[in-house]
Amino acid sequence: MAALICVSGLGLNRPSEIASQRSNILARQGFLSRGGARTRTYRAVLPTTVAESKTFDDDWLKAESTVHLLTLFGWTVPSGVAIKAYGDTSLLAAFADSIGNNLANFPQGPAIDDKFWLYLITWHIGLFSTMLLGQIGWQGRKQGYFK
């Protein structure tokens, strides 16, 4: 019976047809007499569904600008330290230098084998890893996981 009522929104049955079908179902189940006169009045109790009071937290990330600023600073400083792998320059300096070289050829973008892509991916993976771990640490400490 509940399924019969639910399909009314799909345009399959008009509300007047649903009411007559509902009374036919109730009459077949013995709740109403077929002659139209009611001998006994019973009310069919349909099970109700109660939604859980907990809903999904819209702010599940709980992002804070403090964390973003600290992790940006926390990645920019170490990536600015010179290492031999980049020819005694830092990852940040090599990345900035490759950006400058590619901007000199502005209408044309970097080639697929340009070192720019390696620097771009390496720097951003480091940044986003630092941001993720920083957010986990900040929220974990704030919510008391590290006591």
pLDDT tens digits, 20-55: 666 666 666 655 555 555 556 666 677 777 666 667
Radius of gyration of the chain measured on its C-alpha atoms: 34
Residues 10 and 69 in one domain: no
Q: Is residue 119 classed exposed, middle or buried when 0-12, 13-18 and 19+ CB atoms within 10 A define those classes?
A: buried
* Alpha carbon of residue 39 to chain centroid: 56
Residues 76 and 134 in one domain: yes
The residue range of the domain holding 10 is 1-49
Residues 79 and 39 in one domain: no
Residues 69 and 138 in one domain: yes
pLDDT in tens, 97-136: 999 999 999 999 999 999 999 999 999 999 999 999 999 9
Q: Is residue 55 part of a domain?
A: no
Q: What is the pLDDT of residue 67?
A: 93
Q: Is residue 58 part of a domain?
A: no
Residues 79 and 19 in one domain: no
Q: How many domains does the chain have?
A: 2
pTM for the model stands at 0.57
Task: Give the chain's length.
Answer: 147
Mean pLDDT of the chain: 79
Helices (H) and strands (E) counted in the chain, each on its own, are 5, 0
Q: What is the pLDDT of residue 113?
A: 94
Residues 75 and 118 in one domain: yes
Q: What is the DSSP letter of 81?
A: S
3-state secondary structure of 27: helix
Sequence-separated (6 or more) residues with CB below 8 Å from residue 66: 138
Residues 137 and 80 in one domain: yes
- Lookup: tokens for 113: 């084998």
Q: Is residue 60 part of a domain?
A: no
Q: Which of 7-11, 18-22, 87-91, 137-141 has the lowest mean pLDDT?
A: 7-11
Q: Is residue 31 part of a domain?
A: yes
Residues 41 and 81 in one domain: no
Residues 72 and 138 in one domain: yes
Q: Is residue 56 part of a domain?
A: no
